[in-house]
């Protein structure tokens, strides 16, 4: 199959378009997580989201008697579970002497542990729930499972996230870099922080279908970390990260559709990691090569 | 012994080993390193398996542990360049290594027991079936032996380097000053953690390792301030999680991984909400008391100099912006506590000696 043939295939087009949109949104949101030095929340939120996904699937099954795996059902569940894990982490850090990293780690046990338990329970129980076999695709991601309805959901949610981001741009920028200053200006820091966290959680949750809960951190953080090497402006960084995320995810979607149903997540992760390595080595001013040259100049002088 | 007893025993030993290992990671603020390691050992495991085609080769353990060490080293090197902060570096490196492992598995080992599910779930249910003859002990599951040995290695290390570890964790600068080599000790320690992750990987899978390494120590951390008690408590809570989780799994008829992790998490939630000194409720209660105390002090301040109760009431409810009923309760309470009284001499409210003492104590008390 050559490239033009491939892109004219209907399923592949859905997958590429969906993956690219997802990658762009996750990449853009990742910038905020990265700059706030909270990259690891990407890992914890995505793992926690598994509980939400499985719960949503189960509740809809109990209500309607049908197994429904469309994003319209699963995404709200994932969002709520992800946000809950973050708010619980904040509450633990604020009211005990446990440090943030350990608090985040505990959420993995609580949410991912019970998510896995429920997932295996649903997969085992009888009578078999129709559609349950696809649930564990959320572990490592399977872009090929995307449907047209999912595409709409991704488009609407992604556009919503980006719109909120641009409307609240200056405020988000201030609380990302300097919370004390934001409080001094009389902004409602607590509220803004929850809004920003909710946006980041959306950026994570939207990507689970292609990257999977285990590897989502890479799709969130790698584009941001790469973009950071090339620019010193937040606006340019977000645009660049969205582009990197979109292109890598789209490409990853294509590769996994051709190759014997490989899980999409690992392929996308390796692509974004490649971009990251190239950025760290080649970026002007900050990159290894430019550092090395500067070092030589100083030596010669 | 029955298979079930063996499974339970293996689960307990694994839990204790992970709990001890994790307790040092948690106090050293390296909790998420265990998340990284539990993913990063996979490519080493797969590569060695592709080479030797056997699960029992000791090279598998060596190669996987090395793979974990490479993860730690690359992360450190990356954060030393200051191009990315260490959290992001950790996430990027372990996700990339894990992806490599998963792709190798799905490309080369489609039907082996290296199934993607096993990587996450582990094979605790199958662990007792893989037995070997050992001198003295007879025919014992391999995992039992490897996990016990792992635990003994960690325990010996902790006992031998107890004092050094304590200094290294709580005061790294002092550790460097008094002259033992904290960097070397750190690397020995990370090697042991990596080894533990590898040996536990086959039994517990990546989810459970992280859960057992972080959740029980986190609970113990909230329950005690003594280092030795903390270590023992971490192991005990881990063992309890393993036992409870095991029976929960039997009840639900699922692999024990998820249930054991969930129980460890659930125990943490209980401790977090209810423990007497360092919990959600205790902190709330302290804050609530402090708030009331402070309001009482302010109220006294406002009442001083007022000629009668009505004047005091207006002052208090105006300035503190509280309703007249609440203000009345407050004013009455302060008088009945004998903090402030209408003085017969001046005909105005004045603080009593007891009141002055109480206010001084409330204001000086550290928040």
Instruction: Kindly write down the DSSP assignment for every residue of B289-354, as one continuous string.
Output: HHHHHHHHHHHHHHHTT-SSHHHHHHHHHHHTT--HHHHHHHHHHHHHTTSEEE-TTTSSEEE-HH
Contacts with B84 from chain A: Cβ below 8 Å: 225, 228, 280
Residue-level pLDDT at B365: 58
Residue among B96, B214, B259 whose CB faces A102 most closely: B214
Q: What is the mean pLDDT of chain A?
A: 89
At A107-136, the pLDDT tens digits run 999 999 999 999 989 888 767 777 777 787
Q: Does residue B367 register a pLDDT over 50?
A: no
What does residue B337 show for φ and ψ, rounded to 5 degrees? Answer: -75, -10
Are A96 and B272 within 8 A, CB to CB? yes
Which one has a higher pLDDT value, B204 or B111? Answer: B204
Place of tokens 């950026």: A203
Residue among A39, A263, A265 whose CB faces B88 most closely: A39
pTM of the model: 0.88
Are B116 and A139 within 8 A, CB to CB? yes
Residue-level pLDDT at B9: 93
Are B258 and A266 within 8 A, CB to CB? no
Residue of A nearest to B209 (CA): A109
At A250-283, the pLDDT tens digits run 999 888 877 666 788 899 999 999 999 999 999 8
Task: For chain B, list the strands marked E by DSSP.
Answer: 131-134, 138-141, 340-342, 349-351
Residue of B nearest to A288 (CA): B81
**Closest CA of chain A from B59, distance in Å:** 25
Q: Does residue A1 register a pLDDT over 60?
A: no
At B248-304, the pLDDT tens digits run 999 998 888 899 999 999 999 999 999 888 888 988 898 899 888 888 888 888 888
Residue of A nearest to B241 (CA): A109
Residue-level pLDDT at B338: 86
ipTM of the complex: 0.91
Are B103 and A262 within 8 A, CB to CB? yes
Contacts with B103 from chain A: Cβ below 8 Å: 262, 266-267, 270
Are B211 and A265 within 8 A, CB to CB? no
Q: Percent of chain B beyond pLDDT 70?
A: 96
**Closest CA of chain A from B204, distance in Å:** 12
Tokens of B113: 């027991």
CB pairs under 8 A between A and B: 201
Residue of A nearest to B24 (CA): A102
**Closest CA of chain A from B238, distance in Å:** 12
Select from A33, A97, A109, A216 the residue whose CB has the most chain B CBs within 10 Å, as the one to mutate to test that interface: A109
Residue B175 pLDDT level (bands cut at 50, 70, 90): confident
Select from A107, A117, A126, A230 the residue whose CB has the most chain B CBs within 10 Å, as the one to mutate to test that interface: A117
Q: Does residue B113 register a pLDDT over 60?
A: no
Residue among B253, B260, B278 whose CB faces A96 most closely: B278
**Closest CA of chain A from B82, distance in Å:** 10
Q: Does residue B340 register a pLDDT over 60?
A: yes
Are B278 and A97 within 8 A, CB to CB? yes
What number of other Cβ atoms are within 10 A of residue A171's Cβ? 18
Residue among B87, B210, B268 whose CB faces A40 most closely: B87
Residue of B nearest to A217 (CA): B91
């Amino acid at each position: 199959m050559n490239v033009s043939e491939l892109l004219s295939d209907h399923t592949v087009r859905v997958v590429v378009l969906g993956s690219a949109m997802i990658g762009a949104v996750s990449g853009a949101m990742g910038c905020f997580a990265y700059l706030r030095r909270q990259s690891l929340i990407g890992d914890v939120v995505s793992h926690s989201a598994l509980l939400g996904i499985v719960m949503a699937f189960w509740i809809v099954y109990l209500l309607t008697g049908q197994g429904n795996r469309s994003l319209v059902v699963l995404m709200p569940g994932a969002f709520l579970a992800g946000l809950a894990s973050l708010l619980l982490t904040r509450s633990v850090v604020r009211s005990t002497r446990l440090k943030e990293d350990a608090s985040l780690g505990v959420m993995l046990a609580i949410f991912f542990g019970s998510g896995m338990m429920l997932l295996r329970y649903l997969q085992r129980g009888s009578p078999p729930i129709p559609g349950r076999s696809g649930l564990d695709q959320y572990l490592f991601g399977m872009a090929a499972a995307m449907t047209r309805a999912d595409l709409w959901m991704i488009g609407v949610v992604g556009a919503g996230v980006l719109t909120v981001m641009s409307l609240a741009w200056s405020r988000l920028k201030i609380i990302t870099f300097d919370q004390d200053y934001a409080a001094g200006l009389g902004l409602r820091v607590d509220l803004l922080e929850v809004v920003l966290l909710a946006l980041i959680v959306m950026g994570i949750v939207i990507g689970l279908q292609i990257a999977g809960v285990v590897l989502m951190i890479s799709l969130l953080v790698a584009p941001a970390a790469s973009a950071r090497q090339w620019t010193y402006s937040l606006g340019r960084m977000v645009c660049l990260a969205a582009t990197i995320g979109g292109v890598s995810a789209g490409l990853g979607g294509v590769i996994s559709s051709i190759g014997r149903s490989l899980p999409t997540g690992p392929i996308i992760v390796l692509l974004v990691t490649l971009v990251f390595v190239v950025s760290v080595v080649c970026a002007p001013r900050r990159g290894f090569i430019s550092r090395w040259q500067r070092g030589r100049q100083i030596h010669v002088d | 012994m029955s298979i079930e007893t063996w499974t339970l025993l293996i689960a307990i030993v694994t839990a204790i080993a992970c709990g001890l290992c994790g307790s040092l990671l948690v106090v050293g603020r390296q909790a998420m390193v265990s998340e990284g390691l539990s993913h990063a050992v996979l490519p080493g495991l797969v590569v060695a398996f592709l080479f030797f085609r056997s699960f029992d080769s000791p090279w598998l353990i060596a190669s996987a542990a090395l793979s974990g060490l490479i993860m730690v080293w690359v992360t450190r090197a990356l954060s030393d360049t200051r191009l990315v902060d260490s959290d992001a570096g950790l996430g990027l490196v372990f996700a990339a290594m894990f992806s490599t492992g998963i792709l190798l598995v799905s490309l080369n080992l489609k039907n082996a027991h290296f199934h993607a599910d096993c990587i996450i779930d582990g094979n605790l249910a199958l662990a007792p079936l893989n037995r070997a003859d050992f001198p003295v002990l007879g025919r014992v599951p391999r995992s039992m032996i490897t996990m016990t040995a792992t635990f003994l290695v960690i325990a010996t290390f902790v006992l031998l380097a107890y004092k050094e570890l304590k200094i290294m964790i709580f005061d790294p600068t002092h550790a460097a000053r008094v002259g033992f080599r904290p960097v070397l000790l750190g690397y020995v320690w990370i090697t042991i953690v990596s080894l533990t992750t590898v040996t536990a990987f086959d039994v517990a899978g990546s989810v459970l390792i992280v859960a057992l390494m972080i959740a029980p120590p986190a609970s113990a951390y909230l329950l005690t301030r003594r280092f030795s008690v903390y270590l023992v408590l971490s192991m005990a809570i881990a063992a309890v999680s393993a036992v409870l989780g095991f029976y929960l799994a039997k009840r639900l008829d699922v692999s024990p991984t998820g249930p054991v992790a969930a129980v460890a998490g659930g125990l943490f939630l209980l401790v977090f909400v209810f423990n007497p000194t360092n919990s959600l409720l205790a902190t709330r209660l302290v804050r609530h008391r402090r708030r009331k105390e402070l309001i009482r002090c302010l109220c006294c301040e406002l009442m001083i100099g007022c000629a009668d109760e009505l004047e005091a009431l207006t002052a208090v409810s105006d300035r503190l912006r509280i309703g007249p009923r609440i203000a009345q309760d407050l004013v009455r309470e302060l008088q009945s506590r004998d903090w402030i009284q209408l003085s017969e001499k001046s005909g105005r409210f004045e603080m009593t000696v007891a009141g002055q003492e109480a206010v001084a104590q409330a204001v000086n008390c550290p928040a």
